[in-house]
Structure 1
Amino acid sequence: MAAGGSDLQSPKKRKREQVEGKTKPRPQVKGGGDGVKRKKHSGAGGYAAHGGGAGEAAAKKKRPATPKEKRLAAKEISEARKMKRKRHYSLEKELTKLWEKMRCHDVSKEERSKLVSEAIRKMDGKYLDIVGSHVTARVLQTCVKWCSQSERDAIFDNLQPHLLSLSRKKYAVFLVKKLIELATKKQFASFISSLHGQVAKLLPHTIGAAVVDYAFQRATQPQKRQLLLELYSTELQLFKDLTVQSSCSLLETISKLGLQKSSVLQYMTIEIQKILEKGTVEYSIVHTAILEYFTIADKTSALDVIRQLIPLLTQGASIIDGDEPSLATELPKKTKAKMKRLSEPLIVQIMHTKEGLKLAISCLKYGSAKDRKKIIKSLKGHIMKLALNDFGCLFLISIISIVDDTKLVSKIVIQELAKNLKQLILDKNGRRPLLQLLHPLCSRYLSPADLACLSYNVPSLSSREGEASDSATEVISENKVDAVTDKIVSESKKDPSQRRHELLIKSELAEVMLVPI
């Protein structure tokens, strides 16, 4: 057992005994390593003497030593992986080279036309395979922009059966938008027709909703109604002939088609709830649908939608409010500008349409005092952008006329206006909030359409019975200004003259206005 135990000694123990002189060291074979083991594994004595050294030399040669060799080796491995993973990787590299040339500003029209035609020829028959890649999707989008009409028609005809599926893909959605933008009237009508029965499914989709809204903005009035009617009831989603209508409101559609108001309300509640859960509320088609919903909704349903809207419209202002000051100072200018756009709350972004303004005013009017405070705080850093906007200035007028917390309004709104007084006075929209404090709701600086937007009320939430639900088309003359004032002020508790005094005098805005510019 003693001999057996000595044969089974571990290498560490043998090495320790060799150092202490208890055992004799084993003879080493030329070439390094354990000669016995090398002979056993190789099966030939010559390999131990010569082949071992050659193998180590080959291994050292393949292993990259310098940083440049390491980068090249990593690049080769990455290229090999991409070749296995991507079916059209070689085609993608060829298209990228053509794309870098065709998108240059200094390239001639003839040269660009040749490059575009060559790229389209290489992509012909493979559009669906390559449109999912972020690189080739951009190449195809550029080709659609610069190609001839016949080439564009061929691409549209090839992709038309698949446009709805492409509308849900991250990179292909930009190609679909470009095709919609440059489509002929016939092609656009066919795309609107293909959306039938899919509008309610696409609007809760974070990517697909952008395509539907893009088509909605470019559509004619009958086509807009065709898209909207699918959100009203299942019957209108199933039967296409019922959606072919001229411009009319939801109430007129219900009476004209003999629909049950309760079933329409139930269906719209479900569809709008899906949109609110997904948060896709920045689109004008959604604003129009919610405003139509308000015309038939009861008090509970309307308040529920408004309470869910306010957090969605006010989110995204953390960086502007100074929550991350150290990070903002270290970033470059372009990155800071991009983060500022991303941190811009939706309530500022939706001010490019009348429907977005009405939705924001309804949230301001019928929200609680806490909700109004949240809305005003989200506007910090964006007051000037609103003041210079056609509809944003009207929203500031609503804030000045409705919100009772004049201390908060002075801190966020009035102080920002006072800092940029000269720019505001010289701008046709910028001077409107200042004139509102001096001469409220004067028809000299507010058109009848502007007064109608400011007096917008949700019928079920209005404090007065019998008020019109849709005041966008209402023509308001000078003798109706008092009625409009009552509609606006009815949602606040403070006396209008006291509010104006606090915003104009106590905030020291009047003193700043009296100083010569």
Structure 2
Amino acid sequence: MKRKWNVKTVSRGGTNNDDRQHDFSSRFSAHPTEQKLSKRHVNGPFETSVKVQKQGPYKRKFNPQSNKAADGSDDQSLSRHKLKKKLTEARKKHTDRNFELGKEVKVLWETLRRKKLESADHSRIASAILDKIKGKEMEMVNSHVMSRVLQTCLKFCGAEERASVYAQLRPHMLDMAQNIYSHHLVLKMLDQAAADEKSQLHKMIASLHGHVVAFLRHPVASAVVEHAYRLSNSIQKQELVTEFFSPEFGLFKGLVSKTPCRLVDLLAQEPPSKRRSVLEYMTSSLQPILEKGILDHSIIHRVLTEYLSIAGKSMAADLLQQISGSSLIRMIHTREGAKIGVTCVSRGSRKERKKIIKALKGNAAKVACDAYGCLVLIAILDIVDDTEMLNKFIVNELVSSIEQIAFDRHGRRIFLHLLSPQKANGISADALTPLEAGNCVSDEDNEENTESKEELVKASKKDPYVRRKELLTGSCLGEKLVDLCIEHAGYLLGGALGKDLIYEVAKGGHDGVLWHVVPAGICKLHQAIADIGANPRAADFDEEHIFEQYHASRTIRRLIIEPTMLPNNVTARSFARVLWDTTLKGNCMEWATGHSQKIVTAFQICDDKLVRKEAMKELKPLIDSGLLKNNGDLTEVSDRPIKKKNL
């Protein structure tokens, strides 16, 4: 229990009772500023901490003597803050031989860090500071303020002065990387070297050789290794990672291949005993890092993927079980971390999947908008059969942030995958494929660990169509998606990112899954798009009509051509019929040129035969005059594949 000290002073040096009684009685007679003592007092050879108990408000009688300290000549009259500052300054001056120099440098630094200073003045002041501390950098660099001073000087000084600082500090980089203050200076040195002097960057990265594993277990130095890894090229990254493979890689740089390769390739020609020793060394190196929870760094994610590539089935299962849960959420922001996350979801047990899903509570919207985290979320929605739990912990949060996610370039892919999982939607072919268990440890593990992709898909017992329908229905996700598209139809149609979403919603999704959920909403969306198209062209041509927009015209054309997948119990007009009756009937000549020509021409090959027959009566004169191209003889329409950057 925390001890509450009274106002009386406690000291190991000894204090008589009279003194304590005097201190106690003076509490009400002295001026309040005289009672504010510093937290540390020197009493004999020992320093003791004294905590003054706070007193409640009271009315102090006027005492003429209480104003005797108005001139500030006596230390006793100083306020608590000033007295504490004076004592701290006296102590630092006694222990730090560079204290006076530091005070001068701080004054210059306050001027240097001003934003409205000319570049010439920046350079001049930075040079003045470096001249003052020349040769004493390492004596001052572990200070909180001096570390920031040197960071600012590196930003504004010249190339020669910066090289001089590098020469002074690089031999001590390992010690600086482990200090809570100076490691920020090391990060600044790496950034500055990456921007200006690549040779200095290579030297600093090389100085980490042999200390990568130990530094990644350090709470401060691990940030330096991670930053160096991010700034490295592929060969340097491999040199840093291979120190996890065996002590030989950490001692002899010549063992590292000069071309980027995976651990499986390095061990392809090695005997089984060598492979086992590498696996054991990696296990002993990774275990302390996992126990300390240092899992945010991308270099750790790369090492874990290498470990899973050679580990046997039981060892891989142990690792996945250890990182499943809240630890995994901290890893899925990188490519390798997302791959590990997909593997945990695909190969994990029901209990482990439940831990991952519960860990996503409160973070689902943020993960959905992450470039790699969304892949793990898609894998969860694609594999887990317990849709009630998914709706409770994940889908409800997606619904509450549906507008933010739908307009995000990464988050929209979750909704697109639920509506149409057959399309890639910017996801590479192997992004959702889990890592295979290692097959280079022993011949026995080869037979146990070989699992095909088809077997992994069968691990989910529920029919994919039924799962998608329950996810779209359980938390009203399908209804909210339709309402969002109705409200922002013009914006989504005209945007490069929104056109795919509104197309899938207006079509009803793959196999018409959305028609089973909100058929009336889809009909309202068709009418909303047609109403926007019925708006007249702006007279001043400041705003493009939706038919004349590049993305909107092509999306509407796809909706006209695409057949409507209606369930047996649903009766509704096709999109082609709604658009023709509302907008284009009798107005084809007006839209027969420009981007809108694609919309008019699409009625020649639309799936609705009655609409096509009615439209051809109006389109025939335009075709005969050569204004429109004749596409009526086409029986099949294949859209040009959209090239997208795969992850």
Q: 1:378: Cα distance to partner? A: 2.4
Match of 1:84 in 2: 94
Which structure features the higher share of helix residues? 1
1:464, distance to aligned residue in structure 2 (A) = 8.7
Match of 1:229 among 242, 246, 260: 242
Decide whether the 8 Å contact of 2:331 with 2:337 is kept in 1.
Answer: yes
The aligned residue for residue 367 of structure 1 is 348
Are residues 510 and 69 of structure 1, via their aligned partners in 2, closer, same or farther at CA, if it must alter by over 3 Å? closer
CA deviation vs aligned residue, 1:174-218 (integer Å, no higher than 9, x gap) = 111111112122112222222222112211111111111111111
Q: SS at 1:350's partner residue?
A: coil
Contact 1:166 1:172 in 2 (8 A): yes
Cα distance between partner residues in 2 of 1:70 and 1:172? 31
Cα drift, residue 271 of structure 1: 0.7
Aligned residues: CA RMSD: 2.6
Aligned 1:258-273 pairs, distance under 5 A: 260-273=274-287
Q: In the alignment, which residue of structure 2 is the partner of 1:332?
A: none
1:456 CA displacement? 2.0
Q: Which residue of 2 aligns with 1:455?
A: 433
Q: Relative to 1, partners in 2 of residues 1:496 and 1:103: Cα closer, same or farther, differing over 3 Å?
A: same
**Are the equivalent residues in 1 in contact too, given 2:357–2:390 (CA < 8 A)?**
yes
The whole-number CA distance in structure 2 between the counterparts of 1:371 and 1:87 is 57
Q: CA deviation at 1:63?
A: 6.1
1:180 matched to 2:186? The reply is no
Matches within 5 A, 1:338-353: 347=329, 349-353=330-334
Higher relative contact order (CA 8 A, sep 6+): 1
1:355 maps to 2:323: no
- What does the per-residue CA deviation read over 1:425-461, in whole Å, with 9 as the maximum and x for residues that have no partner? 3333222111111111412x134x2x31211233259
Match of 1:145 among 152, 155, 164: 155
Which residue identity does 2:239 align to in structure 1? Q
Check whether the contact 1:294–1:459 (CA below 8 A) recurs between aligned residues: yes
Change (3 A) 1:433 1:85: same
1:228-260, Cα deviation, whole Å (9 max, x unpaired): 111111222222211242111111111356671
- The amino acid of 1:74's aligned partner reads K
- Asked if 1:217 corresponds to 2:230, the answer is yes
Does structure 1 retain, via aligned residues, the 8 Å contact 2:325–2:359?
no
Shift of 1:405: 2.4
Matched, 1:195 2:208: yes
TM-score, normalising length: structure 1: 0.73
Instruction: Evaluate the alpha carbon distance shift between residue 170 and residue 462 of structure 1 in structure 2; reply closer, same or farther with a 3 A threshold.
Output: farther
Amino acid at match of 1:398: A
Is the contact made by 2:346 and 2:434 (CA closer than 8 Å) also made in structure 1?
A: no
Is residue 313 of structure 2 the alignment partner of residue 299 of structure 1?
Answer: yes
1:293 alignment partner AA: Y
Are residues 126 and 505 of structure 1, via their aligned partners in 2, closer, same or farther at CA, if it must alter by over 3 Å? same
Is the CA contact (8 Å cut-off) linking 2:293 and 2:327 kept in structure 1? no
* Paired position in structure 1 for 2:639: none
Q: 1:490 to 1:122 in 2, by over 3 A?
A: farther
Partner of 2:524: none
Distance 1:154 1:191 in 2: 14
Measure the CA separation in 2 of the matches of 1:464 and 1:263. 21
In structure 1, what is the Cα distance between the partners aligned to 2:465 and 2:252? Answer: 55
Among the aligned pairs, what percent are the same residue? 37
Instruction: Return the offset for 1:156.
Output: 0.6
Q: 1:416 aligns with which of 368, 382, 397?
A: 397
Kindly tell me: are residues 187 and 256 of structure 1, through their superposed partners in 2, closer, same or farther at Cα, counting changes over 3 Å? farther
2:127 partner letter = S
Q: Helix, strand or coil for the counterpart of 1:459? A: coil
Please give the alpha-carbon distance, in whole angstroms, between the structure 2 residues aligned to 1:103 and 1:150: 21
Amino acid at match of 1:72: K
In the TM superposition, what whole-angstrom CA distance separates every residue of 1:319-362 from its partner, at most 9, and x where no partner exists?
Answer: xxxxxxxxxxxxxxxxxxxxxxxxxxxx1x53432111112222
Deviations 1:409-437 (A, max 9, x none): 11232122223333333333222111111
2:173 aligns with 163
- Which residue matches 2:297? 283
SS at match of 2:385: coil
1:97 to 96, 107, 111: 107
Q: Which digits, 9 at most, give the CA deviation of each residue in 1:296-338, with x for residues without a partner?
A: 1012211222222235616xxxxxxxxxxxxxxxxxxxxxxxx
1:251-296 superposed Cα distances (whole Å, 9 cap, x missing partner): 1111356671111111111111121122211111110011001011
- Partner SS state of residue 255, structure 1: coil
Amino acid at match of 1:157: A
TM-score by length of 2: 0.59
Distance change >3 Å, CA 71–CA 164, structure 1 → 2: closer
Paired with 2:461 and 2:447, the residues of 1 have a C-alpha distance of 13
Q: Distance in 2 between matches of 1:511 and 1:232?
A: 52
* Contact kept? 2:358, 2:393, Cα under 8 Å: yes
Count of aligned positions:
406
Could you tell me which amino acid in structure 1 is paired with residue 320 of structure 2?
Answer: I
Task: Summarize deviations over 1:7-42 as a string: whole Å, max 9, x none.
Answer: xxxxxxxxxxxxxxxxxxxxxxxxxxxxxxxxxxxx
Aligned to 1:442: 423
CA positional deviation for 1:127: 1.0
Task: Kindly provide the amino acid, as one letter, of the partner of residue 171 in structure 1.
Answer: Y
C-alpha distance in structure 2 between counterparts of 1:495 and 1:463, whole Å? 29
Q: 2-side partners of 1:242 and 1:391: how far apart?
A: 33
Distance 1:224 1:353 in 2: 15
Q: Is the 8 A contact 1:251 1:296 kept in 2?
A: yes
* Deviation at residue 61 of structure 1 after TM alignment: 7.9
Structure 2 counterpart of 1:272, one-letter code: L
Question: What does residue range 117-132 of structure 1 map to in structure 2 within 5 Å?
Answer: 117-132=127-142
**Which shifted more, 298-307 or 253-262?**
253-262
Give the secondary structure class of the aligned counterpart of 1:446: coil
SS of the residue corresponding to residue 64 of structure 1 reads helix
Checking the alignment, whether the CA contact within 8 Å between 2:340 and 2:435 is kept in structure 1 is no
> Are residues 1:243 and 2:256 paired?
yes
1:473-484 to 2 correspondences below 5 Å:
none
Kept in 2: contact 1:489–1:496 (CA 8 A): no
CA distance in 1, matches of 2:455, 2:224: 37
Report the CA distance shift for 1:160/1:491 in structure 2 as closer, same or farther (over 3 A).
farther
1:160 deviates by 1.3
| Contact kept in structure 1, 2:245 and 2:278, CA below 8 Å | yes
TM-fit CA distance, 1:514? 2.5
**1:499 and 2:509 equivalent?**
no
The alpha carbon displacement at 1:488 in A equals: 5.7
Deviations 1:136-180 (A, max 9, x none): 111111111221111111111111111112111111111111111
